[in-house]
Amino acid sequence: MTLSTTFILASQSPRRRDLLDHVGVDFAVHVSPANEEIPPDAPPEDAVREIARQKARPVAREFPTALTLAADTVVVHDGDLLTKPRDPDHARAMLRRLRGTTHAVTTGLALQHPDSGRRVTAAETTDVSFGTISDDDIAAYVETGSPMDKAGGYGIQDPTAPLFIDGIHGDYYNVVGLPLRRLYLLLRNHFGDFLV
């Protein structure tokens, strides 16, 4: 996928960078300084769209001729939003909560191009089912440190994920952190003049 304008990823996520590399997009990274404040009582899809918008805004302001992408991912379980774990104990508690159940992974996207006045947001949701995981397996996984920077305390792309994920319904890449199909459709439908 090639764009005729500068494309900026307003995220420090290595997984989002890897996914954009995977589809051949040239981009620059400028981490957003925005505080991620979840709107109180907002439905998950509205919450992640708003957080993505908050992240995109300051970077787009700094680079008005570029197209800026920001994203935010949360795990939703029994109506509660699970973000990144605060510490290893929190990560273990999240994983114990998710085992043997199905939860939703929701990613919000925001694309902004100030010079043309175009700003769009979208959200993608994928259902993920966990099998039963022992406390020992959870402890070993948390000990790797991998869960600490991931919503819900796990990464579907991690080598150990196949040991506890029974299945998914929806976009796999969304669970990794960037729904590539939804991103492509947003670009095609709202910024098609930038696609080469």
Q: How many residues does the chain have?
A: 196
Q: Kindly state the DSSP code that residue 4 receives in the 8-state scheme.
A: S
What is the rounded (10 degree) CA torsion for 143, 148, 149, 152? 110
As given in the structure block, the two tokens for residue 59 are 């970077």
How far is the C-alpha of 113 from the C-alpha of 126, rounded, in Å?
A: 28
Question: What's phi and psi for 195, nearest 5 deg?
Answer: -85, 130
- DSSP label at 195? B
In the set 72, 136, 137, 171, the catalytic residue is 72
DSSP string, 82-133: E-S-SSHHHHHHHHHHHTTSEEEEEEEEEEEEGGGTEEEEEEEEEEEEE---
Q: Is residue 46 flagged as an active site residue?
A: no
For residue 109 the two structure tokens come to 């996207």
Residue positions annotated with a catalytic role: 72
